[in-house]
Structure formats: structure tokens, C-alpha cells
Amino acid sequence: MECLFCKMAAGEFPVNKIYEDEQVLAFHDIDPQAPVHFLVIPKKHLESLAAITEEDSQLVGHMFAVIAKVAEQMGLEKGYRVVTNCGEDAGQSVQHLHFHVLAKRSLAWPPG
């Protein structure tokens, strides 16, 4: 089975795009858990956080820079949460590294 997020990154599956460059894609979550909920994915297929190597460190750093840029553009100055699920027990439902960005509501601690 082909990866859904790889299809999204390749433009083969429609998304509500927020940001795109040669390395990453950011788009609104289809099942938002907060008034603002978007995902940032690498275009390179990485199964999860556990698959990241030193070679991927620049890509992951770029993903966080994109998160900060998009958060600023969306006016999230009061704060936001960045979450990634790694593996089945953590609730990872798509086997492609992705960061959830949630904002515009109170986010309790500890999470879920």
C-alpha cells in the first residue's frame, strides 16, 4: 500500500494547503482537534520519529522553522503545541513522519 502522505506531498491527493516548498508540506488537518490544527510533513518518506538519522537533522530543523513561520503568519502569538506520535502505542495512524500543530484553545497538561 502506498503512503497517503507521500501521495499528498506529490500532489496526487488533494489537501487544504497552508505552505509548501521543495522539502515540506503543511496543510489543515481533516479532523481538527483545536480551532487551529495543521500538519507539517516532509516530502521525503520517513516512517516516524524513530526513523530519523543524523542525515535527516537538517530536514527536521527546517520542518520546525516552517512551523514557526506558519504559526507567526496565522497569528498564534499566544502559543501553540507541536505533537508527533511515534508508533502504534502512541497513536500514530499514518506511517509517515508528521508534526501536528494545535492552537487557539487551552491545551491541558499532561496531554491525553
Catalytic, 100? Answer no
Q: How many angstroms separate the CA atoms of 7 and 43, rounded?
A: 9
d(CA 29, CA 16): 8
Catalytically annotated residue among 28, 45, 98, 100? 98
CA distance 99 to 38: 8
CA distances to 86, 93, 111 from 89, in Å: 8, 10, 15
Contact by Cβ (8 Å): 81, 102:
yes
Name the residues annotated as catalytic. 98
